[in-house]
Amino acid sequence: MTAAQVLGIDFGGTKVALATADEGWSPAVSSTRLRIPTSGSAEEVVRRSLEAAQGMVAAPVAVGVSTFGVVRGERIRLAPNVPGWEGLELPRLMKDAYGDTPVVIDNDVNAAAAAELRWGALRGVDVGIYINLGTGLAAALVVDGRVVRGAHGAAGEIGYLLDPTRDTSFADGHAPLEELVSGSALASQGSALVGRPVAAAELFTMVGDPRVDALIDEALRTLAQAVANLCITLDPARVVIGGGMMGAAERILPRIAALLPRAVPFPPQLAPATFIDDAPLLGALALAVEAVGVR
């Protein structure tokens, strides 16, 4: 008899990743994976993804979905940068495809945190924080061993935290903190400094250029302060840092670690994420595994 399988779908800005696994799956066991591009309308991308998923597993026992933006009610919100996704009725489309099969949808950072809770650096943690340093910037807040989604599904959207030196905010179309310390922000600012396109990862290797050193130093100072403020607010036992920028962990983590004991009355443990590549996809699988009650 074929083992019951769960399905994970990660809708990203440039690709969709899909994976199937046995319902008792762990990262030590391989899974089938598939990637498709996100060209076309949002609904077309979802349709092609679901067709591909049907070819991988016809009747999953549960489906976990990771998406950028947040799910509020029956629509995707806070997804202005990908045409067609703001307001997309993703829950309805999934319901149409899978009927009564359990489908759990969450944003990509919360999903990554779910993977860390089940198999990674947040395993066994009652109160914790997962921070994703990637193209964007966001966090997942963990209380009672579960990710807190918030009243509107937008808990942890720290990219919108205010910058006291600038009078810009969400209502103005800005994400003030994200515009200072995310990968896209550093790439944009760094490219302007050096006069050619550079990625954030390259900036961290350009040690000795005083302009780049100053940019990185200010970004890490701002990031460390934001993390400390989160810790003062939530009092976590552990803070886990993940995302694509963690290729520069040897520069990022020490700056945060140096500030926490000075700023936070009860400093948490600080740890790198277990999962960097495919973290939201693994998180989608974690959501599906949780939906079938596997402990």
Q: Does 109 reside within a domain?
A: yes
Q: In angstroms, what CA-CA distances link 67 with 17, 45, 91?
A: 11, 13, 11
The model's pLDDT over 89-113, given as tens digits with 9 standing for 90+, comes to 999 999 999 999 999 999 999 999 9
Tell me, yes or no, whether 77 and 173 share the same domain. Answer: no
What six digits make up the tokens of 74? 């029956």
- In the predicted model, what is the mean pLDDT of residues 31-39? 68
Tell me, yes or no, whether 51 and 137 share the same domain. Answer: no
Whether the per-residue pLDDT at 204 is higher than 70: the answer is yes
Tell me, yes or no, whether 160 and 219 share the same domain. Answer: yes
Q: Does 34 reside within a domain?
A: yes
Tell me, yes or no, whether 128 and 218 share the same domain. Answer: yes
Tell me, yes or no, whether 154 and 241 share the same domain. Answer: yes
Tell me, yes or no, whether 216 and 253 share the same domain. Answer: yes
Whether the per-residue pLDDT at 265 is higher than 90: the answer is yes
276 Cβ neighbours under 8 A, 6+ residues apart: 242, 243, 244, 246
Tell me, yes or no, whether 180 and 217 share the same domain. Answer: yes
* Pairwise CA distance, residues 189 & 182, whole Å: 11
Range of the domain at 217: 123-272
Whether the per-residue pLDDT at 13 is higher than 90: the answer is no
Q: Count how many domains the chain has.
A: 2
Q: Does 206 reside within a domain?
A: yes
Cβ proximity of 38 and 13 under 8 Å? yes
Cβ proximity of 142 and 106 under 8 Å? no
Looking at the whole model, is its pTM more than 0.95?
A: no
Tell me, yes or no, whether 178 and 88 share the same domain. Answer: no
Tell me, yes or no, whether 239 and 141 share the same domain. Answer: yes
pLDDT band at 82 (very low <50, low <70, confident <90, very high): confident
Q: Could you give the angle at the alpha carbon of 82 between the alpha carbons of 135 and 136, nearest 5°?
A: 15
The model's pLDDT over 161-192, given as tens digits with 9 standing for 90+, comes to 998 888 889 988 899 999 999 999 999 999 99
Tell me, yes or no, whether 136 and 247 share the same domain. Answer: yes
pLDDT for position 186:
96
Query: Whose structure tokens read 């550093």?
Result: 186
Average pLDDT, the chain: 91
Name residue 224's amino acid.
A
Q: Does 1 reside within a domain?
A: no
Q: Does 74 reside within a domain?
A: yes
Q: Does 118 reside within a domain?
A: no
Tell me, yes or no, whether 22 and 80 share the same domain. Answer: yes
Q: Does 165 reside within a domain?
A: yes
- Domain with residue 16: its CATH number is 3.30.420.40
Whether the per-residue pLDDT at 64 is higher than 90: the answer is yes
Cβ proximity of 134 and 243 under 8 Å? yes
Q: Does 243 reside within a domain?
A: yes
pLDDT for position 2:
56
Tell me, yes or no, whether 74 and 136 share the same domain. Answer: no
Name residue 157's amino acid.
E
